Structure 1
């Protein structure tokens, strides 16, 4: 099996929206023989963008999975969205991958969502290869894009290629390791020509950048350093091996270049993927915990070990069945077998058995059935009933919970209702199904109005949800105006008492707590600290207090919004050996907390977005004036290639409909992107 796993590469392709990552993937599928014609995003024919909304909007909404072959390697590829509204698709994909190709636009360089996905990859310690795309575009500058990686990402970005020609004259690349020139024609069917002779006018520049590469690699790899210092011969084989070690260790990020749309640069990228990314057997053992003892376990990539697999995505297939996208880490997952789901330590779900009916290999929305999956494989499972995103599948005799996927909280919500009352049940069922598929999509019933409220990561996210209701479930729905998901916090420290002592149900109940409620740093959520002895409050009731606190922070005292960024300390209280109960301590906790919050000067918080607008210079003044009118705070401006790039912190509530407004301000020439930066005090 280790021989089989040695030939697997599990990679993701990630980028800022419109950097061209789906086009890169489409070219990979074509050159590896998966597709017999090239799909185009703009034409709505991209194979990996298989949902109707993806083909119409020209963006990737879900992460599509495919398997292809290059040389003697199997490459499992996940193509992910670049739009911030679908960031969970990136997060749960990176969780199960062993490497990422990060695509950058040769004109724009590093953009906001590029920074976001880079940080996500940092979190999972993923090796990365950078691909600077769109070098045929007006204003494209390969070296400026590389420098933006160093400046904005603080990445050790090192070119291993340099381009031949600029903008419309871009025709190929120089391989700095082999010192060969690759040339492409405009036709995708034409193979590239690889020449030993580098164009004489580019030779000095190639030699300079090769020396820079050698020095950078020597600093990251002892073997190359030893050869470099002792002036020993350093062959291309030495460089490939040293670069592979440095990439897997996360010490260096090689940069390649091309124009996927013009069919240039993709074959060398495929070579780099199989050459430098690790096989599943070469990545560190992943961590898990025992569901009962909480003891840490390390899962080795081996067929001989007990089964350990992670369900990282759930989706309804176009033909009907529910697909559970799964990465196998250890053991063998067999069709027809029973597996154990140990539940979750976070939501206290108990363990249960599930039946694996079928196992499928995937190519976007096309499937091939297989009988078993081995360590390193990424497959789809059919037949599971209760499993949700982030769950572990394992051997019941050797239970383990792998690190799960924590989704971000929604920032926008709308009321929704069926156009016909007869469709109410269909709407409810469809929303529940979509909520299982998407951890960032939430559904709740507003008790005060009886309305159904759906919430998500942005306007586009909820628009796609409503479209899917109609297209996939044939449910027509009306939605209200989008509203911002606010939060509450406190600005002063208080101490608050809660006591419950009365007779109910024929018995006495007693619970007594003192809570200290303090403001916390933004982004810290709710922190609970128990600072009492067993003689004051036994551990069992301390846990009851924490559970009651977690429950009551879901609805604040100002307007019923979730409470965040507070520290709550249980510092005193009392109990009765016979009369104390869970109910009494729960009630006393809720009273102490709510009374304390009312006295701690509570305020509302709103989502503040990091917005980047790229506009032609003649429209910059109008754009800035409009951002200021929306209570924005401009914190950075940059200029290049005839455009201005404006960064601003903007209240999300002022950004609804901004796409249309910006188009009007700039005659359709400006573009923008935004992501959640932080929560700030709501301005009245």
Structure 2
């Protein structure tokens, strides 16, 4: 059988999980359809998901459509859990984007579709809830074309909207308007088809039109649209046929080198790690010794961990079944990889996955941060362990340990995520916690080129190492790159690796305490003392350089280079789109200005005013809070991260959580004491 790894994505409450239940029921996997409200669905298995009626963690189930096994991945819709969606995108062959026929295109819908199109993931659109009061057909199609993409093709006609007798009739070869629309959309992206369409005297066959549609859907160029109701099953058969006919099956050579990616990690009943792996190439068997690590290596080399696979489960007919192997194209649960992390590449680094298997970063990083404090001081140690396990499942929680204040900070997307972490710690670990005030996470960027060097043997340098570093600004969103300008072979690789790892660690806290990004750090000079010993004695580290010398010296050199370059501090900005009554504009505008927003020219459409612009991420919650009063409950706000801008006014400083290389004397006292004394 062929395999299709399918994602279900949507804005919160559009009906993703209900659609998943209906697809499983239609395929005969479950006898009864669960309800999100009743907390008995297949994919919302966490107690907290059942209590809140929202999806928090991605979940995998499977069903068969003719000769295709569909691994269906249900993802969260709430923007606070966008990190779960990000990890899933790297393993998909296709997607279904669910839109509510009542609410229409919403903020998260636009963010998701923009990303799906950029990644060229073949996507079908399912407009759900046509049985609900307020459901619309033509207005939703217009919104899809205007706000998502003009390359949509309605695959049928909805009727009886807003009633119990709502229906969806798929179009066929006899629907002239449909076949004409198909031909026009296909011709927009296919010159050969356009020439045939214009020149041929006989009409193009319906079969050729459907083949052309499938080809362009699989290239991510065109998006068929289906209407229906997941609760009543309306339109689901047509959607299922579209999944089977239009979306591409998984590729990959089972006989090729093993290559895959880990997109989810969970803990079993005994605390063991279970890795969810999408395999792009090769076959993994029980008792195989499997390599894994960061794509390209955690420090610039190859994958640097190994583990023996002790058990495998593969998804079949709704559940994960134990198997002896998992082959290319499939999703498997692997036991035995004790050090595995989300985002790890598995197998040979030179294996061809048929594309980039790495998860990448498709959405903005968390813009908020808060200190987590245990209610009982005795729980400090247990809290750190528990947060570490949560960070394994969600790396963007991004734990930051402040050793000076003995505090733990977590990165957040929003207040709902904070509440979920708090409830999870209480329910799963028995730890009651409180959060301090949420603050905005800024970034630093170098403003110019800066260089520094510390030479071995000089009085100011207590380490047996010579390091020269240059920091150069890099394009926005390029991250951090480490380069070598020293002669190859002039420094042992273990020392180069120590410098590179420490550079990345040090850049987590720049001159003002924020993470430094968008720069190139170049190793320009190096020197070391070769391994030596006194006569007839063992190795003497007081005479020989060690990796510790380079790890301890690198922060001093790097911050000196940063000081010379100078760093600007940038705050996250969200792009907002606001739909308000036209007569409320006069009240809303001064509030936007007071919140630091930069509104663009408004657009008036009858009694409605559309305002867009940029607003500091830190002020979005305040705007959401005040909007209902300002607009008599009629304002609609859409927000999404857009860019970082230079901080206006006083530069915010983040407290340091390390040995503070900005203060050389303090740093050396702490580092030498930690190392057990000076040389």
Comparing 635-644 with 137-146, which one deviates more in the overlay? Answer: 635-644
Given that residues 84 and 674 in structure 1 are in contact (C-alpha distance below 8 angstroms), is that contact kept between their aligned partners in structure 2? no
Structure 2 residue aligned with 1:239: 209
Residue 450 of structure 1 deviates from its aligned partner by 1.0
Alignment partners' CA distance in 1, 2:157 and 2:270: 45
Q: SS in structure 2 opposite 1:440?
A: helix
Is the aligned partner of 1:483 residue 2:439? Answer: yes
CA deviations 1:106-158 (Å, max 9, x no partner) are 45544432232234324543211122334455665544444444444445222
Selected match of 1:595 from 560, 577, 581 = 560
Alignment partners' CA distance in 2, 1:77 and 1:343: 26
Q: SS in structure 1 opposite 2:315?
A: strand
Structure 1 residue aligned with 2:179: 210
Structure 2 residue aligned with 1:172: 167
Is the aligned partner of 1:330 residue 2:299? Answer: no
Structure 2 residue aligned with 1:275: 245
Is the aligned partner of 1:372 residue 2:337? Answer: no
Q: Structure 1 regions of 5+ residues with no counterpart?
A: 180-205, 282-300
Q: SS in structure 2 opposite 1:212?
A: helix
Structure 1 residue aligned with 2:477: 523
Report the CA distance shift for 1:641/1:320 in structure 2 as closer, same or farther (over 3 A). farther
Structure 2 residue aligned with 1:472: 428
Q: SS in structure 2 opposite 1:388?
A: coil
Structure 2 residue aligned with 1:459: 415
Report the CA distance shift for 1:69/1:547 in structure 2 as closer, same or farther (over 3 A). closer
Q: How does 1:424-435 map to 2 (within 5 A)?
A: 424-435=380-391
Q: SS in structure 2 opposite 1:158?
A: strand
Alignment partners' CA distance in 2, 1:308 and 1:495: 40
Structure 2 residue aligned with 1:347: 298
Report the CA distance shift for 1:403/1:431 in structure 2 as closer, same or farther (over 3 A). same
Residue 12 of structure 1 deviates from its aligned partner by 0.8
CA deviations 1:531-554 (Å, max 9, x no partner) are x56399879687776555433222
Given that residues 607 and 652 in structure 1 are in contact (C-alpha distance below 8 angstroms), is that contact kept between their aligned partners in structure 2? yes
Report the CA distance shift for 1:355/1:144 in structure 2 as closer, same or farther (over 3 A). same
CA deviations 1:289-308 (Å, max 9, x no partner) are xxxxxxxxxxxx23333443
Alignment partners' CA distance in 1, 2:482 and 2:590: 44
Selected match of 2:15 from 8, 20, 38 = 20
Selected match of 1:557 from 511, 520, 533 = 511
Is the aligned partner of 1:82 residue 2:77? Answer: yes
Given that residues 13 and 21 in structure 1 are in contact (C-alpha distance below 8 angstroms), is that contact kept between their aligned partners in structure 2? yes
Alignment partners' CA distance in 1, 2:611 and 2:627: 13
Report the CA distance shift for 1:346/1:643 in structure 2 as closer, same or farther (over 3 A). farther
CA deviations 1:76-96 (Å, max 9, x no partner) are 111112222222211221211
Given that residues 281 and 351 in structure 2 are in contact (C-alpha distance below 8 angstroms), is that contact kept between their aligned partners in structure 1? no
Q: SS in structure 2 opposite 1:347?
A: coil
CA deviations 1:234-288 (Å, max 9, x no partner) are 444333333222222333222222333453221101110001111124xxxxxxx
Alignment partners' CA distance in 2, 1:395 and 1:517: 33
Q: Structure 2 regions of 5+ residues with no counterpart?
A: 531-542, 650-679
Residue 67 of structure 1 deviates from its aligned partner by 0.6
Alignment partners' CA distance in 2, 1:237 and 1:399: 34
Alignment partners' CA distance in 2, 1:383 and 1:547: 27
Q: How does 1:245-644 map to 2 (within 5 A)?
A: 245-281=215-251, 301-316=252-267, 322-334=273-285, 336-344=286-294, 345-348=296-299, 350-361=304-315, 367-394=320-347, 403-407=357-361, 409-491=365-447, 493-502=448-457, 509=464, 511=466, 513=468, 515=470, 517-518=472-473, 520-528=474-482, 532=485, 534=487, 546-558=500-512, 560-568=513-521, 590-613=555-578, 622-635=587-600
Alignment partners' CA distance in 2, 1:678 and 1:496: 28
Alignment partners' CA distance in 1, 2:415 and 2:436: 12
Alignment partners' CA distance in 1, 2:426 and 2:14: 30
Structure 1 residue aligned with 2:659: none
Residue 629 of structure 1 deviates from its aligned partner by 2.6
Structure 2 residue aligned with 1:62: 57
Q: SS in structure 2 opposite 1:273?
A: helix
Is the aligned partner of 1:98 residue 2:93? Answer: yes
Report the CA distance shift for 1:611/1:392 in structure 2 as closer, same or farther (over 3 A). same
Alignment partners' CA distance in 1, 2:230 and 2:392: 35
Residue 589 of structure 1 deviates from its aligned partner by 5.6
Aligned pairs, how many? 627
Report the CA distance shift for 1:533/1:424 in structure 2 as closer, same or farther (over 3 A). closer
Alignment partners' CA distance in 1, 2:317 and 2:414: 28
Alignment partners' CA distance in 2, 1:622 and 1:46: 44
Q: SS in structure 1 opposite 2:395?
A: coil
Report the CA distance shift for 1:543/1:627 in structure 2 as closer, same or farther (over 3 A). same
Residue 509 of structure 1 deviates from its aligned partner by 4.1
Selected match of 1:157 from 152, 155, 170 = 152
TM-score normalised by the chain length of structure 1: 0.79
Residue 61 of structure 1 deviates from its aligned partner by 1.5
Report the CA distance shift for 1:486/1:533 in structure 2 as closer, same or farther (over 3 A). closer
Comparing 245-254 with 598-607, which one deviates more in the overlay? Answer: 598-607
Alignment partners' CA distance in 1, 2:206 and 2:18: 30
TM-score normalised by the chain length of structure 2: 0.80
Q: SS in structure 2 opposite 1:104?
A: strand
Report the CA distance shift for 1:637/1:357 in structure 2 as closer, same or farther (over 3 A). farther
Given that residues 511 and 584 in structure 1 are in contact (C-alpha distance below 8 angstroms), is that contact kept between their aligned partners in structure 2? no
Measured on the aligned residues, the alpha-carbon RMSD in Å equals 4.0
Given that residues 523 and 679 in structure 1 are in contact (C-alpha distance below 8 angstroms), is that contact kept between their aligned partners in structure 2? no
